[in-house]
Amino acid sequence: MKKGPVIAIIVSVCLLVAMLLLPITHTPTKEVITESVDQKIERAINMVTSSPSPMPGIMLLREVLEEDPENIKALSALGLFSIQSNQLVKAIARFEQIVDIDSQNYLALEKLVDLYKVTKDTINWTQSLQNLYQVETDEERLKRIKSTLKELEHEFVKS
């Protein structure tokens, strides 16, 4: 009998036994799903609007702002939720924060006009109307803003 094939079979059997006895070191990898900031904000908005308890969503929006204090989308959502819950001072603060970041932000400028009007803060209402006038592009709205500013000017003159 030839020694070559016998040695090959013995080596093969030994390798097979060694492979079977070795511990399995491969662990299945867990797929990491990372949530973008916009997805986190959308999830928070959904939590606030569709849940009987809105605070977890509000806390998630605040968490976004801790990571990025200038996130306009999160600030806008918190400002709008503040309006819904009649926390107008908080809403004003949020929208003023947005205007500090982006002086051309139409939503924030428009909301400030409404909020100052509701809170009867005539001086800030006038200023916010002037700021909105600077960014407004619609001719009809420009006329209404200009008319309101003239009315306010006449009120100041009377007082």
Q: Residue 130 maps to which CATH number?
A: 1.25.40.10
Q: Any idea which of 26-30, 61-65, 80-84 has the lowest mean pLDDT?
A: 26-30
Percent of the chain, pLDDT > 90? 63
pLDDT score for 76: 97
pLDDT score for 153: 81
Evaluate whether residue 58 is within a structural domain. Answer: yes
The overall average pLDDT reported for the chain is: 87
Evaluate whether residue 3 is within a structural domain. Answer: no
Tell me: pLDDT of 102 over 60.
yes
Evaluate whether residue 84 is within a structural domain. Answer: yes
User: Under the phi-then-psi rule, with left for phi > 0, alpha for psi from -120 to 50, and beta for the rest, what region is 34?
Assistant: beta
Evaluate whether residue 129 is within a structural domain. Answer: yes
The encoded tokens of residue 99 equal: 């205007």
Residue 27's pLDDT band (cuts 50, 70, 90): low
- Is residue 84 within 8 Å of 90, Cβ to Cβ? no
Evaluate whether residue 105 is within a structural domain. Answer: yes
Evaluate whether residue 150 is within a structural domain. Answer: yes
How many whole angstroms separate alpha carbon 71 and alpha carbon 130?
Answer: 25
Evaluate whether residue 1 is within a structural domain. Answer: no
Parent domain of 154: 35-158
The mean pLDDT of 84-91, rounded to a whole number, is 96
Residue 26's pLDDT band (cuts 50, 70, 90): low
Torsion angle of alpha carbons 91, 134, 118, 47, nearest 10°?
-30
Please state the domain count of the chain.
1
Residue 7's pLDDT band (cuts 50, 70, 90): confident
Evaluate whether residue 11 is within a structural domain. Answer: no
